[in-house]
Chain A
């Protein structure tokens, strides 16, 4: 669930207010306010919308607990999802050039599980 809104980075563009499906953020005079923290669905999509990397969502769906902002920044975790996604890169930047591997890798895992099970049970496929 939402853990940090980093005031020093926030420019009050209010993108998070607009995109959050659960209306976690309210508009504020200086920066948005985390008004309904417990409505957060841990979808991480506000982080993609935040061009200043001023948001951090903790990974548990039932907890807001997270290390201090300075530690997260030092660990390179703030803004990581946006960077990994290539979210703000041009559409021809190749950010999805590995995406075609999703299906084959899913299938490879299924095959591995099938072969392991068959070997264990002496089943010939």
Chain B
């Protein structure tokens, strides 16, 4: 197998990966991006329309925005990080202008902070190419590689089409592999299987806030779309009786009521109350959403249609790979994390953060991680020893090889996380039962999982889904209170004593523990 050498390797193909690559290249590094999809279309940004947290650089405005967000973060946010991402987003988002068709702000200027996904990712790809980034599409990474001290020195994978192995060595690696959506069907999230979470853990990194992973978006039952048309919807059961659903602003109660109704039978949305100006412009704003109805022969503003809630896991949830310093370092030398793959608790705490804070986070953490990785490359010394391949489950079985039904394992993990009955009413007993199931599935993959050729990528994705689900369930079990998006039906209020983050990790044995003050010293 040929080995390619570069300064910075970025794994992933969404907006955080693109910003990391651009930032590293601007800092003078040679950059390779490997993505299991194709940069421009892979990930949830490409089919979405991210607004970015956008506050002009006036201290009074920024302070007010940060105070509001700190409140929303339910005791777990960090105002200094919020200030950083407001600043980075404000300065860097406009720099895509040569590649992106910014529209009017209606007052003679450009509307910057909200961007449409397909055009945004097309722009970021073009921007990265202009900066000299080498993009390798359809190159899924399967594992990280390290030197004898555990420093990450690259990654290995195979091409998606021909299963040809590849090997890239770099001074630093940025994991920008996205959040974990557990194959919920959420549009754009098919590849968001927690691959980076698993690779990070195998290298010795930890996770944080994995219990903050209960988030959903409403869509027609036949396909997940963006949610613009549905926020004012009325809901009906199969008999045509209106269902009394608390409004979207009530957050968990809204989803819980919808989930309860959906557990009883089909639920239909009626958009008769939609904002009057919406029908005329929906197609101009979200052509993909309009197509999902038009192609089915449904007039979405006149016809009632069946709806479901699609899980968003840690894409809108805030948990992810723990960051131990202000450079987006994971605590493993040479390894950085950015975007939804990294914990977003620093800016979103226990809440979702909403699209705006999340996008600002992806841009900013991408830029920070990319620059830090480039900085590391300037001081790196070449490693001539034998590399250690770090991948385990699904690649190097501990016992005899057995055929594994990856689809069934992924379904079971997805149900443990997103099943309405389990997610909206998290309880001790159901969490413990899910933990046992996931434990069995993990042991099966770790002991017996092996596949050659194309199916190796899917087996490894299944291992990542199960591993990530284990950390989610273990963290949800450990947080015996309700905070932000984590709702415990058996502990329905916040407990001030638990206003601290939960760190998790482990492969053979999953562990969860509260973040102790000692961590601050490590970070410093």
Q: Footprint of B on A, CB under 8 Å?
A: 18-23, 26, 41-45, 48, 57-62, 66, 77, 80-81, 84-87, 89-103, 105-114, 116-117, 120
* B330 lies within 8 A of chain A by Cβ: no
When distances are taken between beta carbons in the complex, the residues of chain A under 8 Å from B46 are 21, 43, 45
Q: Hey, what's the 0/1 contact readout for B44-65 against A, CB within 8 Å counting as 1?
A: 0011010100000000000000
Q: Which residue in chain A gives the minimum CB-CB distance to B160?
A: A23
Q: Is the CB of B51 within 8 A of A60?
A: no
Nearest residue in B to A41 (C-beta to C-beta)? B190
Residue B92, interface by CB 8 Å: no
Select A84's contact among B49, B161, B234, B284, beta carbons within 8 Å. Answer: B284
Closest chain-B Cβ to A51's Cβ sits at a distance in Å of: 13
Tell me the nearest residue of chain A to B104, going by C-beta: A97
> Which A residue sits closest to B276, measured CB to CB?
A108
Are A96's CB and B103's CB within 8 A?
Answer: yes
Is B101 in contact with A61, judged by CB distance below 8 angstroms?
A: no
* Contact mask for chain B residues 477-503; partner A; CB cutoff 8 A; 1 contact, 0 none: 000000000000000000000000000
A96/B190 in contact, CB under 8 A: no
Q: Do A19 and B222 touch (CB < 8 A)?
A: no
- Please indicate the chain A residues that have their CB under 8 angstroms from the CB of B118 in the complex: 45, 48, 85, 87
Closest 8 CB pairs of A and B: A109-B231, A21-B37, A96-B103, A109-B232, A84-B287, A112-B232, A113-B247, A108-B275
Q: Which of B161, B246, B288 has a CB less than 8 Å from the CB of A81? A: B288
> Once bound together, how far apart are the Cα atoms of A60 and B222, in whole Å?
5
Give every chain B residue within 8 A of A113 (Cβ-Cβ): 231-233, 247-249, 273
Binds A, one of B25-33, B290-298, B314-322: B290-298
The CA-CA distance from A119 to B150 in the complex, in Å, is 61
B88 within 8 A of A: no
Contacts of A106 in B (CB 8 A): 227-228, 231
A99 with B111, Cβ < 8 A, contacts A110-B232, A117-B246 known: yes
Shortest Cβ distance from residue B110 to the other chain A in the assembled complex, whole angstroms: 10
A96 with B41, Cβ < 8 A, contacts A45-B46, A112-B275 known:
no
Q: Nearest residue in A to B99 (C-beta to C-beta)?
A: A91
* A20, A58, A96, A103: most-surrounded residue (chain B CB, <10 A): A96
Asked if residues B295 and A59 are in contact (CB atoms below 8 Å), the reply is: yes
Answer whether residue B67 sits at the interface, using C-beta atoms and an 8 A cutoff: no
Chain B interfacial positions (CB closer than 8 Å to A): 13, 36-38, 40-42, 46-47, 49, 51, 99-106, 111, 114-116, 118-119, 137-138, 160-161, 185, 187-188, 190-191, 222-224, 227-234, 244-249, 273-275, 277-278, 281, 283-288, 290-296
Q: From known contacts A21-B41, A94-B103, A94-B104, infer whether A114 and B249 are also in contact, taking CB-CB under 8 Å.
A: yes
Q: How far, in Å, is A23 (CB) from chain B's closest CB? A: 5
Instruction: List, in ascending order, chain A residues with CB within 8 A of B249's CB.
Output: 110, 113-114
- Can you sample 12 A-B contacts with CB below 8 Å? A22-B37, A22-B190, A44-B47, A44-B288, A45-B47, A59-B223, A59-B291, A59-B295, A84-B290, A101-B281, A101-B285, A110-B231
Q: Which one of B234, B244, B247 lies within 8 Å of A110 (CB-CB)?
A: B247
Residue numbers in B under 8 Å from A58 (CB-CB): 295
State A85–B289 Cα separation when bound (angstroms).
12
Known A43-B47, A102-B114, A116-B247; 8 more pairs at CB < 8 Å: A23-B138, A44-B288, A84-B284, A97-B104, A99-B116, A108-B278, A112-B275, A117-B244
- How far, in angstroms, from A98 to B285 measured CA to CA in the complex? 6
Give Cα distance in the complex from A110 to B227, angstroms.
11
Are A61 and B224 touching (Cβ within 8 A)? yes
The complex places the Cα of A41 from the Cα of B41 at a distance, in Å, of 11
Output the least CB separation between B155 and chain A (Å).
19
A59 contact from B100, B227, B296, Cβ within 8 A = B296
Q: A99 touching B114 by the CB < 8 A rule?
A: yes
- Interface pair A103/B285, CB less than 8 Å apart: no
B97, chain A: closest CB distance, angstroms: 8
B161 contacts A23, C-beta separation under 8 Å: yes
Contact of A20 among B38, B116, B185 (CB under 8 A): B38
Most buried by A among B137, B222, B295: B295
Question: CA–CA, A72 to B190, complex, Å?
Answer: 28
Which B residues touch A103, using CB under 8 A?
51, 114
Cα distance A91–B234 in the bound complex, in angstroms: 38
A17 CB to nearest chain B CB (Å): 9
Cross-chain contact of A96 among B40, B119, B188, B245 (Cβ < 8 A)? B119
Distance A44 CA – B278 CA, assembled complex (angstroms): 22
